[in-house]
A and B are shown apart, each in its own frame.
Chain A
């Protein structure tokens, strides 16, 4: 067996063998960091809530009971439930203030216009004609349950955050790797694009892109992704500049491996640490950007619940001093999520880069 062939085999073997890697030791270090683990638990909880939202949320987030609009925390509203008429499967609520009498076949009640009304029992649901709805965090201006909207809003925040950051990482990895590996003209062109994107304050760039693309769900994460990739690309490029000078890369070239294989299997895995660190920070930023976009009415469109939009809606009530919860609860939700991501991000940074821990 020739010597070159032997080296080739050894490198191929190292490609497939996992072993106790950097990741194993990093994960051990991360587990010891209490704050980071708190962040991880909170974040896992959020993801759990987002995935199982339909089972966790007490009500449908878009069910409107206009009579119950902007009610305070722990509001209990009484309703009569109409019979399910089959065709449209929705329950029909009749909000009532009080039942006066329910004798025989009729129920006598006072509705929200203070009118005295009577309804036949045969029109009502047989099993539960009467129900008290509890709104733990109150209701918004359409009488929708704030808690349910918060729970459904986590889906938007997390998914836009994750998807846009994934777009950013993929774009950043590809362009950063190309620039770093091939240098020369490729590098110049890519760096030029990076510098152009960098010249704009990022939130402004996000807003500008989403104004061009129009309002909506996918527009939001495309806009954020197209802005955030530059951070990743710069890091990857810098990493590759130093890694490609190392001896083990020289070895792969000497035995005649092709560029894609060198980049994918030998260079990129070795610069994943900084990418993950930047990615977690980017995730926090992406969540904030999504909230900012929907606060301006540019992100997800109503009636879909999103935290930024809930804050925008609730802002007027907060200033007027009528119902502070409408703005404060979604604000808290964003804060807790971003705080958890940042705690985790700090921990990941310390775990992946032992030089930094003091």
Chain B
């Protein structure tokens, strides 16, 4: 610890590339193994929330785009704007209050080992923001595509409405949605900090917040590094997926 900063940093780096992130100040457990052990909880929460938000978000986006400026459209777009405006921890608290403390439908804290109902509140809370963004995205990119010539051609051919929407419009409108989705996935797989903290969900996010509150530096370093790695890896994978989805994109 009394070596100069760059020597310490060099030591940290050379150990980190070997997978050794040091030991926690408070529990003296290896940071790497703690992170690996915590990862499944975060992965479960992130994927389930994103599946939920994609399905609902795309549906809401389609309906809003088709019924532009209708009551449904205005309502869902204001709802989406609210969804973007609420800080995650505030929404988490409201969910905990309404469905946990007042209605008592779902448990407020804990992991699925005590029953799957523990997943509901954190999942719904985490899904809100991506859902709102995806709904807005789908709507605006559907509107873009609906003005294209080939959609008009498809309509002129006499195709059914459903076919025009799902085969010709939606397919082409989904690209920006994939980008949003990947960004959310990359961000949440590194740990949904506030949601995991409030619902006491034993994932990376809870680990990160706990270590910050305890000033447990090896764990803070480890979780930050882990999130960054996840972020880069996911973005890299998404670029590859993109090249398959969209022939216009070429991998150089």
Seen from chain A, the residues whose Cβ lies within 8 Å of a Cβ on chain B are 199-201, 203-204, 207-208, 211, 284, 288, 291-292, 295-298, 311, 315, 318-319, 321, 324, 327-328, 331, 334-335, 338-339, 341-343, 346, 358
Contacts and interface: CB of A to CB of B under 8 A. Distances in A.
Contacts of A318: 93, 96-97, 101
B82 interface: yes
B187 A328 contact: no
A74 to B, nearest CB: 20
Given A207-B193, A208-B220, A331-B93, 11 more contacts: A200-B231, A208-B224, A291-B89, A292-B88, A292-B194, A295-B194, A296-B213, A315-B93, A321-B101, A328-B94, A339-B81
A26 B87 CA distance: 30
Nearest to A339: B85
A208 B222 CA distance: 11
Nearest to A346: B81
Contacts of A297: 213
Contacts of B194: 292, 295
A206 B191 CA distance: 15
B13 interface: no
Given A204-B227, A298-B212, A318-B93, A291 B101 contact: no
B97 A284 contact: no
Contact of B212 (A211, A315, A338, A346): A211
Interface residues on B, range: 35 or more
A331 B101 contact: no
A131 B228 CA distance: 58
Nearest to A210: B212
B87 A291 contact: yes
A57 to B, nearest CB: 23
A268 to B, nearest CB: 28
**Secondary structure class of chain B's binding surface, majority of residues:** helix
Nearest to A312: B89
7 contacts: A203-B193, A211-B215, A284-B84, A296-B213, A315-B198, A319-B101, A331-B93
Given A201-B187, A295-B194, A284 B85 contact: yes
Interface string B194-232: 100010000000001100110100001001100110011
Contact of A211 (B81, B82, B220): B220
Nearest to B198: A315
A335 B81 CA distance: 11
Contacts of B212: 207, 211, 296, 298
Contacts of B227: 200-201, 204
Nearest to A338: B85
B213 A199 contact: no
A328 B228 contact: no
Contacts of A311: 89-90, 93
B231 A201 contact: yes
Nearest to B96: A319
* Central interface residue in B81, B96, B100, B187, by most chain A CB within 10 Å: B81
B87 A334 contact: yes
B224 A204 contact: yes
A319 B104 CA distance: 11
A152 to B, nearest CB: 19
Contacts of B101: 318-319, 321
Contacts of A288: 87
B43 interface: no
Interface in B89-143: 89-90, 93-94, 96-97, 100-101, 108, 143
B190 interface: yes
A358 B101 CA distance: 44
B72 interface: no
Interface string B64-86: 00000000000000000110111
B109 to A, nearest CB: 9
A324 B81 contact: no
B89 to A, nearest CB: 6
B16 to A, nearest CB: 15
A2 to B, nearest CB: 47
Nearest to A358: B143
Contacts of B86: 335, 338
A331 B81 contact: no
B49 to A, nearest CB: 15
A342 B90 contact: no
A297 B212 CA distance: 10
